[in-house]
Amino acid sequence: MNSKPTSITTVVVLNWNSHEMTAECIRSLLAMDSADFEILVVDNGSTDGSVELLPQEFPQITVLPQERNLGFAAGCNVGMRHALANGAEYVLLLNNDTFVAPDFIREMLAAIQGDPGIGAVCPKIYFADQPDLLWYAGADFSLWTGTAKHRGWKEIDRGQFDRHEEITQATGCAMLVRRSALRDVGLLDEQFWAYVEDVDWSVRFLKQGYRLTFAPKARLWHCCGATAVKSMGAGRQALRQFLSTRNMIFLARKHVRWWQMPTYAIGLLVGHIALYTVLRLWRRDFRALFAIYRGLHQGLRISLTSSESR
């Protein structure tokens, strides 16, 4: 495994009981018009045979099996540590419920290589079931309001987001990160487990003086929510509500200054807690409703740990 020549880019794909979905993602990566990359699958304790089946289908990839589900943040960190230890210049975090355009990595590298001030770059992302409908064309997050805005969300792509621009929120769905930035900023905060960890990471990149950018020529398609549906089953909405609520409070406790706290709190209460309370009541999803307030309670009470690994 360690005898392979070092590739400029290591693609880190997280898998959990999603063999077929991950295989489709890998096929699209192997069809790219670039050879200077390697694929690393971190398996989060799957029980569907993924650890045995994926290397059989794709002998050119590396699979790192874990004994249990570490969550998104810690699972990705396993892959990033491996990539850094093996000399990768760039690490591409990629959701397994995506498939990429043939020139994807080439366009991502073109957007980052010439400017050492860019810490990470994100592509243009479409909905897989509507290939011209935008899921992400860059995003911005405000510590003043606790709200994020995805550019282009559910808009038909007519070229209105074809400029290479700076952003303030990168997405963990697909993000190419420079090695030096990983060393300076650290890896994902594992206490978040899943959800909002990419917002926290984005804030930390910006605090370290790195820029985040959007590369419109790099394209991929996202089966939105497919990983969560597959892995979390019937409890997915409750877990999502719990983690997102808790982690938004973790984010505030880590990064929001006292003078920003009043408006952040209003944004969180109105734009998240009140909104999703009404939604869950309307849908009579009481399990997810209670999860919101359990997340609120734990977000305020649990001690923050220093889990920003380097």
115-126, pLDDT tens digit by residue? 999 999 999 999
284 alpha-carbon distance from chain centroid: 29
Judgement on whether residues 240 and 292 belong to the same structural domain of the protein:
yes
Judgement on whether residues 62 and 22 belong to the same structural domain of the protein:
yes
Residue 224: its pLDDT value, please?
A: 79
Query: How far is the C-alpha of 35 from the C-alpha of 144, rounded, in Å?
Result: 43
Domain of residue 195, CATH code: 3.90.550.60
Judgement on whether residues 81 and 180 belong to the same structural domain of the protein:
yes
Instruction: Note whether residue 160 is domain-resident.
Output: yes
Judgement on whether residues 184 and 268 belong to the same structural domain of the protein:
no
Mean pLDDT of the chain: 94
Domain membership of residue 69 as a residue range: 9-228
Judgement on whether residues 184 and 276 belong to the same structural domain of the protein:
no
Please state, for a pLDDT cut of 70, what percent of the chain lies above it: 93
Judgement on whether residues 240 and 163 belong to the same structural domain of the protein:
no
Query: Cβ distance 196 to 244 under 8 Å?
Result: yes
Domain boundary among 203, 228, 253: 228
> What pTM value is reported for the model?
0.93
**Mean pLDDT, to the nearest integer, of 64-73?**
97
Query: How far is the C-alpha of 256 from the C-alpha of 254, rounded, in Å?
Result: 6
Query: How far is the C-alpha of 135 from the C-alpha of 118, rounded, in Å?
Result: 23
Instruction: Note whether residue 102 is domain-resident.
Output: yes
Residue 1: its pLDDT value, please?
A: 40
Question: Mind listing the pLDDT tens digit for each residue in 189-215?
Answer: 999 999 999 999 999 999 999 999 999
- pLDDT over 90 at 43, yes or no: yes
Looking at the 3D structure of the chain, how many domains does it have?
2
Question: Mind listing the pLDDT tens digit for each residue in 245-263?
Answer: 999 999 999 999 999 999 9
Residue 227: its pLDDT value, please?
A: 52
Domain boundary among 228, 261, 285: 228
